[in-house]
Chains A and B, each alone.
Chain A
Amino acid sequence: MTRTNLQALPRSAGVWEQAWSRLRQDRVGMASLAVTLCFIVLVLLAQLGLVASGWQMEVGTPFAPPHFIGKITDGSQSAVVAGIDGPNVDISDVDPLAPRYAEWSERAARFKTIVSAKSDTLPFGGDQLGRDVLSKVVKGAQVSITVGLAAALMATLIGTVLGAVAGYFGGRVGDLLEWIYNVFTAIPYILLVFALAAVLKSGPLAKTLGGGVWSLVIILGLVGWTGIYRLVRAEYMKHRSREYVRAAEAIGATHAARMFSHILPNVSHVVLVQLSLHVVGFIKAEVILSFLGLGVPIDMVSWGTMLSEAQNELVLGKWWQIVAATAFMATFVTAFSLLTDALRDALDPKLR
């Protein structure tokens, strides 16, 4: 009886459903979502090794131009050196090693020599070693976006947990966390990054992390949590005495349950927007840190390493690497920023 009555009630859409339907009406938001998803698919494919796995192969001539320009004809910039023509001079009558010639030629015959044809042009051109810029920019997207996402997730996790604890409990614990927050914000951002970089470079942790991408993620995550902490703390202070939290307390929910299963869903839109904002910030930070030599190691490729290589190429008139890296990065960052704006509008219609 009661069951049928309940089912007869009109079902109202949930928060996420409402947000999704608002987002679907936002044309700019949907377009940026599509572009962002394309990049995410690209990153996943690169991660699985399905695309751009051979970015280190020297498939073209050095600085091979893009297809639409055509191959270099004057040959001035090409590093290919023609071999010496004519047969080798026979010196076997004076060479003390002459008896071993037969053995050598037999050994040499065991290896197959492959003459690899290096193409004169590549879709997006080649770099100074003749590596394909298209593969590099795709592989670089994988590294840059992974770093941005991972660092943003880490910063959001730290900021949310600490902010929840500080805002929910307040008191002594809140004071302690406020003190830590004050200490972290008193030190200029970039100097904290440098101090951590110096420590991770030569300290005992350098071996376990292997210096590379993960230390970059840790540095950015450890430095970047403060803004999220502040916002989440303010939200928790607002929510902790609301009726639904009191009701949860009355039915015996623990502190942890109240913090993370009752309040967190109600502040998750703040967290999500912050996460999204930080991804863009960290991708840009990766570029700068890679240029300064503190980012992605040289045996990997990211948009940052590509841009720093491009500094010397531009003077030689080889503009394709900087253009490719900039175009990819600008497309992704613009789409992601617009998506963040659309997300904020969709999740919190009061802001409009």
Chain B
Amino acid sequence: MLPYILRRVWQMIPTLLGVILLIFFLFKYFGGDPAEVMAGLKASPERIASLRAQLGLDRPVWEQLWLFVQQIFSFNWGKSWTTNEPIAQIFATRLPATLTIMVPILLLEVLLAIVAGLAVAYVRGSLSDRAIMVISTVALSVSFLVYIIVGQYLFGFVLGWFPVQGWSASFWKNLITYAPLPVALAVLVSLAPQTRLYRSFFLDEIGQDYVRTARAKGVTENAILLKHVLRNAMIPILTNVATGLPGVFIGSFLIEVFFSIPGLGREILAAVNRSDYPVIQAATVYLAALTMLINLITDVLYKLVDPRVRLT
């Protein structure tokens, strides 16, 4: 196991290097001049020159790249160009709100999809299959934006079950009062396509020989689904959860902007709008690294979930 992990980490290095180079050169050659962004439109040439010196922009490109790499590994990105808030602090203060929304979404999504997928696989037949297909095709053709606009209007404004939007300083108040509406809308929208996906995972397993053997020796259909099929379908389920996991840390931009939730997604979007490059660069590099790390952990988990998997 350990040699495998070490080799995988070793293989990550070129990819991470590529991400760093891509982000550095993208902003260096295609982005605006940082000194002009920071100093504003009416800056004197002296002020721009001093800012350039301060940011190291007057040095050769390779030295600037080295500075960028140092920033990444020391976690010291300095301050935001526009609000002067330390970038580490931006991440630390915005992440909790994002997690408050995204962790319940992921958990509910997976749990409901497993239950619904099993239920649909249990009653598999032409009618339910077609119904699921039709529902998810039509449901997916309407934009997510429409669902949250109408959902907020209906549940927040007309029925008044939830506050229309808002956020507080207390975690429990957020979780109980403000999070339910965005969480419920996100889960509802993803339920049909997720059910279709999980149903296909379960149906793949139901066609296997071991299921026929279990039936032949008289195991009940419930036991087959819950014990045999569910366990064997863990690998695709795990893959699916792992794909969604990096998104938990980015947050859903749409939900955070729409419901005015002070999370990381909204912060990154604000950074794009005010050309606050360090915030975008830091988010991109760290989340790319996190994505790679999650992929590695997933591959290791495969082995734990299914001993037949060989890590090569």
**Which A residues have a C-beta under 8 Å from some C-beta of B?**
179-180, 182-183, 186-188, 190-192, 194-206, 284, 287-288, 291-294, 303-304, 307-308, 310-311, 314-315, 322, 326, 329-330, 333-334, 337-338
Closest B residue to A200 using CB positions: B30
**Does B80 sit at the interface, judged by CB under 8 A?**
no
Tell me the smallest distance from the CB of A26 to a CB of chain B, in Å.
15
* Size band of the interface chain B makes with A: 35 or more
Q: Which residues of B contact A201 (CB under 8 A)?
A: 272, 275
Partner of A292 from the list B247, B257, B288 (CB cut-off 8 Å) is: B257
**Does B76 sit at the interface, judged by CB under 8 A?**
no
Closest A residue to B286 using CB positions: A191
Closest B residue to A335 using CB positions: B141
- What string of 1s and 0s marks CB contacts (under 8 Å) between B133-146 and chain A? 00001101111111
Partner of A337 from the list B141, B271, B275 (CB cut-off 8 Å) is: B141
Given A183-B18, A183-B19, A198-B275, also A191-B32 (CB < 8 A): no
Q: Which residues of A contact B200 (CB under 8 A)?
A: none
Given A315-B153, A322-B149, also A188-B247 (CB < 8 A): yes
Partner of A186 from the list B141, B271, B283, B288 (CB cut-off 8 Å) is: B288
Q: Which residues of B contact A200 (CB under 8 A)?
A: 30
Q: Which residues of A contact B111 (CB under 8 A)?
A: none
- What string of 1s and 0s marks CB contacts (under 8 Å) between B278-293 and chain A? 0011011001100110
Q: Which residues of A contact B153 (CB under 8 A)?
A: 314-315
**Which B residues have a C-beta under 8 Å from some C-beta of A?**
14-16, 18-19, 22-23, 26-27, 30-32, 37, 137-138, 140-146, 149-150, 153, 157, 246-247, 250, 253-254, 257-258, 268-269, 271-273, 275, 277, 280-281, 283-284, 287-288, 291-292
20 chain-A/chain-B pairs, Cβ below 8 angstroms: A182-B15, A186-B15, A186-B292, A188-B246, A188-B287, A188-B288, A191-B268, A194-B268, A194-B272, A194-B284, A195-B23, A201-B275, A202-B32, A202-B275, A204-B32, A284-B144, A287-B145, A288-B254, A303-B143, A330-B141
In the complex, given contacts A284-B144, A304-B145, A307-B146, what are 17 additional A-B residue pairs having Cβ atoms less than 8 angstroms apart?
A: A183-B15, A187-B22, A194-B284, A198-B31, A198-B271, A198-B272, A198-B275, A199-B27, A203-B30, A288-B145, A292-B254, A307-B149, A314-B153, A326-B142, A330-B138, A330-B141, A337-B140
Say whether A180 contacts B26, CB under 8 Å.
Answer: no
Closest B residue to A290 using CB positions: B145
Tell me the smallest distance from the CB of B312 to a CB of chain A, in Å.
18
Partner of B253 from the list A190, A192, A287, A310 (CB cut-off 8 Å) is: A190
Partner of A191 from the list B30, B145, B283 (CB cut-off 8 Å) is: B283
Tell me the smallest distance from the CB of A184 to a CB of chain B, in Å.
8
Say whether A186 contacts B19, CB under 8 Å.
Answer: yes
Give CA–CA (A201, B258) in the complex, Å. 22
The 8 closest A-B pairs by CB, nearest first: A183-B18, A202-B32, A333-B141, A334-B141, A202-B275, A187-B288, A198-B272, A186-B288
Tell me the smallest distance from the CB of A213 to a CB of chain B, in Å.
18
Give CA–CA (A187, B277) in the complex, Å. 16
Tell me the smallest distance from the CB of A322 to a CB of chain B, in Å.
7
Q: Which residues of B contact A204 (CB under 8 A)?
A: 30, 32
Q: Which residues of B contact A183 (CB under 8 A)?
A: 15, 18-19, 22
Say whether B144 contacts A203, CB under 8 Å.
Answer: no
Give CA–CA (A217, B64) in the complex, Å. 31
